[in-house]
């Protein structure tokens, strides 16, 4: 009998299928503290090797044999000091330490760069984590109940140690999805019962939602300067106008920070331009 390749057994297979198709649920532990601890161990090993190397260098420099004294300036002699062709006057200790240190240094630097990259991964959205928890818990949905040492990673999470492989949605997009689902989506959309991992679960196209969110933000961004000018026009007292101008600029900056992924420089530039428009209006209207 032919088997349906989409039928994943409830457990790691089904959970992996969900995480692959819906990357906002691809939530894992970063083991950040353990990663840092591993770096500390590697660092300590390197410090020990460094001390051994310096000691061996001084020993070779003070050796009565000219061959060993020239290790500091003769790389060929140093590299051959531990080989099969080395003479009795050679001492390969320094070169053996160099080789060991080279391997350990590569391991340390790779671990350091990986630690940096993992530290840059975004934290999962609370709503994404809650959706994953509900999907795993409910028998009508994923019904994934792990029984090993990892059983509490999502049900009793250490949130500070969790990372999401692709938490690319802006805060506004996540809120828009939640609002849409609560008031509209759950009433008009149906779950895809033909797919085991989406049973009794409604999946939204995040790209479409994000486009709608960007469109709404664009409309709001266009209306805010107009509304601000109208408000300033109705106020005649100059001191009050300046206070309102400062307040509106602050609100504009906060909206940019919360609703977009703009960095500090972009927020500062946009806020300065927004304030400049209002200042010109205030100056022109007296």
Domain boundary among 146, 180, 204: 204
Do 42 and 86 reside in the same domain of the chain?
yes
Domain boundary among 157, 174, 204: 204
pLDDT of res. 97: 94
Residue 27, φ and ψ in degrees, nearest 5: -110, 130
Q: Which of 146, 200, 169 is nearest to 24 (CA)?
A: 169
pLDDT of res. 204: 63
Do 134 and 25 reside in the same domain of the chain?
yes
Whether 99 maps to a domain, the answer reads yes
Do 130 and 200 reside in the same domain of the chain?
yes
- CA terminus-to-terminus distance, the chain: 84
Do 39 and 74 reside in the same domain of the chain?
yes
| Per-residue pLDDT at 35 exceeds 80 | yes
pLDDT tens digits along 114-171: 999 999 998 888 888 888 998 888 877 778 889 999 999 998 888 899 999 876 555 5
Do 47 and 177 reside in the same domain of the chain?
no
Whether 162 maps to a domain, the answer reads yes
Distance CA 169, CA 22 (A): 12
Whether 211 maps to a domain, the answer reads no
pLDDT tens digits along 13-22: 989 988 888 8
Cα 221 to chain centroid, rounded: 28
Average pLDDT, the chain: 81
Contact status, residue 93 vs residue 53, Cβ threshold 8 Å = no
Whether 189 maps to a domain, the answer reads yes
pLDDT tens digits along 205-252: 666 666 777 777 778 778 888 888 888 888 888 888 889 889 988 988
| Per-residue pLDDT at 2 exceeds 50 | no
Domains identified in the chain, total number: 3
| Per-residue pLDDT at 185 exceeds 80 | no
pLDDT of res. 115: 97
Contact status, residue 49 vs residue 101, Cβ threshold 8 Å = yes
Do 38 and 111 reside in the same domain of the chain?
yes
Q: Which domain holds residue 149?
A: 12-30+122-204
pLDDT of res. 1: 38
Whether 156 maps to a domain, the answer reads yes
Cβ neighbourhood burial of 258 (10 Å; 0-12, 13-18, 19+): exposed
Contact status, residue 38 vs residue 111, Cβ threshold 8 Å = yes
Domain boundary among 59, 93, 119: 119
pLDDT tens digits along 65-113: 888 888 888 888 888 887 655 555 556 889 999 999 999 999 999 999 9
Do 95 and 164 reside in the same domain of the chain?
no
Over range 191-210, report the average pLDDT: 60
Distance CA 215, CA 236 (A): 34
- Paired with 27 in beta bridges are 164
């Amino acid at each position: 009998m032919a088997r349906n390749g989409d039928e994943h057994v409830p457990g790691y297979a089904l959970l992996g299928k969900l995480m692959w198709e819906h990357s906002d649920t691809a939530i894992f532990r970063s083991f950040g503290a353990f990663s840092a601890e591993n770096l500390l161990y590697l660092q300590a090993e390197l410090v020990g090797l460094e001390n051994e190397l310096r000691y061996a260098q001084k020993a070779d420099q003070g050796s009565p044999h000219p061959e060993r004294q020239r290790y500091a300036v003769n790389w060929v002699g140093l590299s051959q000091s531990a080989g099969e062709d080395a003479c009795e006057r050679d001492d390969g200790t320094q070169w053996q330490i160099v080789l060991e240190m080279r391997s350990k240094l590569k391991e340390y630097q790779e671990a350091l760069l990986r630690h940096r990259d993992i530290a840059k991964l975004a934290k999962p959205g609370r709503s994404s984590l809650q959706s994953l928890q509900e999907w795993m818990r409910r028998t009508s949905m994923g019904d994934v109940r792990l029984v090993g040492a990892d059983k509490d990673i999502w049900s009793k999470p250490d949130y500070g140690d969790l990372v999401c492989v692709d938490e690319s949605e802006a805060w506004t997009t996540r809120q828009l999805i939640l609002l849409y689902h609560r008031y509209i989506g759950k009433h008009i959309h149906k779950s895809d019962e033909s797919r085991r991992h989406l049973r009794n679960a409604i999946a939204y196209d995040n790209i479409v939602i994000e486009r709608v969110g960007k469109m709404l933000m664009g409309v709001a961004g266009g209306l805010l300067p107009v509304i601000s000018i109208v408000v300033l026009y109705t106020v005649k007292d100059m001191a009050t106008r300046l206070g309102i101008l400062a307040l509106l600029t602050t609100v504009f900056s906060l909206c940019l920070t919360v609703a977009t992924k703009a960095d500090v420089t972009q927020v500062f530039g946009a806020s300065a331009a927004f304030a400049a428009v209002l200042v010109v209006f205030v100056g022109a209207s007296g």
